[in-house]
């Protein structure tokens, strides 16, 4: 299935399902929204369909758009995104959104996979053990954010040092080390989680810089947040855009100083 066919199938699925739910009083709004989201926004830039769908799913999860997330997840499955990738997106969101906000989505996706005849639970994708998760997690922090992260898990004031360790062993060691998504995909969806939930600008700047360090450059990130506008709104996307620009300046200054 080529990109044109994937877009056509996405639009068909979206239009049919939304019209079932949409009140007769809302059809004008819905048609205008669909034209914007599935034509104007979808067609901008050069991201592939797969990347667009992962960004949209991550942003819907971040803003807690559960009903539309389920609908778009089904469209994603039908147009080339795997069940493993959607599950890994959900698992990684636990570190950034919290289990309380991810739990309802896990149930919805399990029901969706069951309806589509996809066997669950899926094969384990874990690569870190309880013994080496700190070491592997911290190494990924170094790979993404640079050598300044070396020794991070053992740094900090005594009263909060445990949080640094948890970031290394749990956030990165338990999730980022998993198979199913590569490191660039994981940093991209993390950026979308943070942008969509709002109020996380310091972390958003850090992860924008992390994305750029591993190859998801400024133009790529701007295209990513452009895909998110219909689903999370302009204010949060404008905040994310400002964070991208700040991270880009910070990274360029750091590279000049080296």
Domain ranges, ordered by start, for the chain = 3-125+182-257, 129-177
Residue pointed to by tokens 């539309």: 68
User: What is the per-residue pLDDT for 42?
Assistant: 96
* Element at 220 (helix H, strand E): helix 218-232
Terminal CA-CA length for the chain? 46
Angle between helix 49-62 and helix 66-78 axes, rounded to 10 deg? 160
Distances from the Cα of 234 to the Cα of 107, 159, 196, angstroms: 29, 39, 11
Between CA 187 and CA 87 the distance in angstroms is 16
Q: Is the pLDDT of residue 182 over 80?
A: yes
Chain mean position to CA 49: 15
pLDDT one-digit tens code per residue, 71-102: 999 999 999 999 999 999 999 999 999 999 99
Mean of all residue pLDDT scores within the chain: 93
Q: Is the pLDDT of residue 172 over 70?
A: yes
Q: How confident is the model at residue 253 (pLDDT cuts 50, 70, 90)?
A: confident
Average pLDDT over residues 190-215: 97
Q: Is the pLDDT of residue 24 over 70?
A: no
Angle between helix 201-213 and helix 234-257 axes, rounded to 10 deg? 50
Name the CATH architecture for the domain at 3-125+182-257: Up-down Bundle (1.20)
Choice between 242 and 122, residue whose per-residue pLDDT is larger: 242
User: What is the per-residue pLDDT for 19?
Assistant: 63
Q: What's the predicted TM-score (pTM) here? A: 0.94
User: What is the per-residue pLDDT for 18?
Assistant: 65
Between CA 80 and CA 220 the distance in angstroms is 21
Give me the torsion for CA of 153, 156, 159, 162, rounded to 10°: -10
User: What is the per-residue pLDDT for 198?
Assistant: 94
Average pLDDT over residues 13-42: 81
Q: How confident is the model at residue 232 (pLDDT cuts 50, 70, 90)?
A: very high
Q: Which tokens hold the place of 114?
A: 């069951």
């Amino acid at each position: 299935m080529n990109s044109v066919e994937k877009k056509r199938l996405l639009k068909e699925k979206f239009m049919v399902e939304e019209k079932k739910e949409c009140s007769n009083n809302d059809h004008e709004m819905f048609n205008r929204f669909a034209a914007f989201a599935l034509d104007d926004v979808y067609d901008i830039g050069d991201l592939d369909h797969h990347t667009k769908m992962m960004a949209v799913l991550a942003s819907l999860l971040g803003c807690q758009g559960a009903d539309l997330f389920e609908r778009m997840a089904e469209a994603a499955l039908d147009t080339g995104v795997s069940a493993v990738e959607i599950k890994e997106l959900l698992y990684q969101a636990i570190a950034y959104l919290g289990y309380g906000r991810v739990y309802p989505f896990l149930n919805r996706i399990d029901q969706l996979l069951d309806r589509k005849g996809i066997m669950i639970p899926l094969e384990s994708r874990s690569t870190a053990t309880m013994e080496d998760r700190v070491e592997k997690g911290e190494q990924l922090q170094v790979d993404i954010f640079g050598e300044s992260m070396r020794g991070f898990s053992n740094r900090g004031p005594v009263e909060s040092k445990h949080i640094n360790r948890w970031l290394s062993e749990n956030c990165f060691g338990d999730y980022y080390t998993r198979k199913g998504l590569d490191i660039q995909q994981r940093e991209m969806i993390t950026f979308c989680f943070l942008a969509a939930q709002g109020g996380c600008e310091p972390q958003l700047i850090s992860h924008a810089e992390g994305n750029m360090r591993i190859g998801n450059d400024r133009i790529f990130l701007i295209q990513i947040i452009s895909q998110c506008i219909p689903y999370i709104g302009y204010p949060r996307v404008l905040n994310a855009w400002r964070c991208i620009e700040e991270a880009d300046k910070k990274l360029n200054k750091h590279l000049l100083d080296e």
